[in-house]
Amino acid sequence: MPRLARKPSVAVRAAPLRPPAQSAENFRRSRRDRAVETAQDYVEAIADLTGALGEARVVDLARRLGVTHVTVNRTVARLQRAGYVNTQPYQAIFLSAAGRKLAEECKRRHETVVAFLRSLGISEKVAELDAEGIEHHVSPETLAAFERLLKKP
């Protein structure tokens, strides 16, 4: 089958296509968000566990995140290299100042997303479920809109 010409006649065009550069930028941002998802989920979990239990242990994180302790171990090592946590062998994991700051932001955003979904009538279970993924893709502008609509419904 012969390759179609790169610039087909208007008759072939069914729908207008956004310039690929813009589209590519959107996908790139989405992928970048995905790359920092892990760090955000971990620092948020570490903050929660530290608040509730006084410290965050590898096993607690593993149970909480639904992964094995091996995965937690490697990820925590990466978070330490990135400067978000401090930990020593066989010790609990504590957030650095940067980690606490990030955790605060994530916790606030997580709660806003959940509250917003709840305000739409979504059940608590599904709101928590969806928020766990959505939270990482909500820009400041969208977050602000959520907060604004929560104040004045």
Chain residues that interact with a second copy, rule: CB under 8 A: 1, 3-4, 8, 12-17, 20, 22-30, 33-34, 37, 41, 45, 48-49, 51-55, 57, 60, 63-67, 91-92, 117, 120-123, 126-130, 132-134, 136-139, 141-142, 145-146, 149
How many angstroms separate the CA atoms of 100 and 97, rounded? Answer: 5
With CB under 5 to 8 Å by kind, the binding choice for 110 among DNA, a second copy, Mn ion, none is Mn ion
Q: Which residue has the tokens 């929660």?
A: 48
DSSP string, 92-127: -BEE-HHHHHHHHHHHHHHHHHHHHHHHTT--HHHH
Binders in 38-57 for DNA, by CB under 7 A: 38, 57
Per rule CB under 7 A, is residue 21 in the interface with DNA?
no
- Angle of helix 20-53 versus helix 97-119 axis, rounded to 10: 110
Considering only 73, 80, 86, 142, the residue that binds DNA (CB under 7 A) is 73
Of positions 132, 134, 142, 146, contacts Mn ion by CB under 5 A: 132
DSSP lists the bridge partners of residue 85 as: 95
Q: Select 75 or 116, whichever has its Cβ closest to DNA.
A: 75
Question: How far apart (Å, rounded) are the C-alpha atoms in residues 74 and 92?
Answer: 14
**Binding partner of residue 87 among Mn ion, a second copy, DNA, none, CB cut-off 5 to 8 Å per kind:** DNA
Token pair 């977050």: residue:
143
Judged by CB under 5 A, the chain residues 32 through 71 that form the site for Mn ion are 41, 44
User: What does 8 bind: Mn ion, a second copy, DNA, none (CB cut-off 5 to 8 Å by kind)?
Assistant: a second copy
At residue 56, what are phi and psi to the nearest 5 degrees? -115, 115
Residue 52, classed as helix, strand or coil, is helix
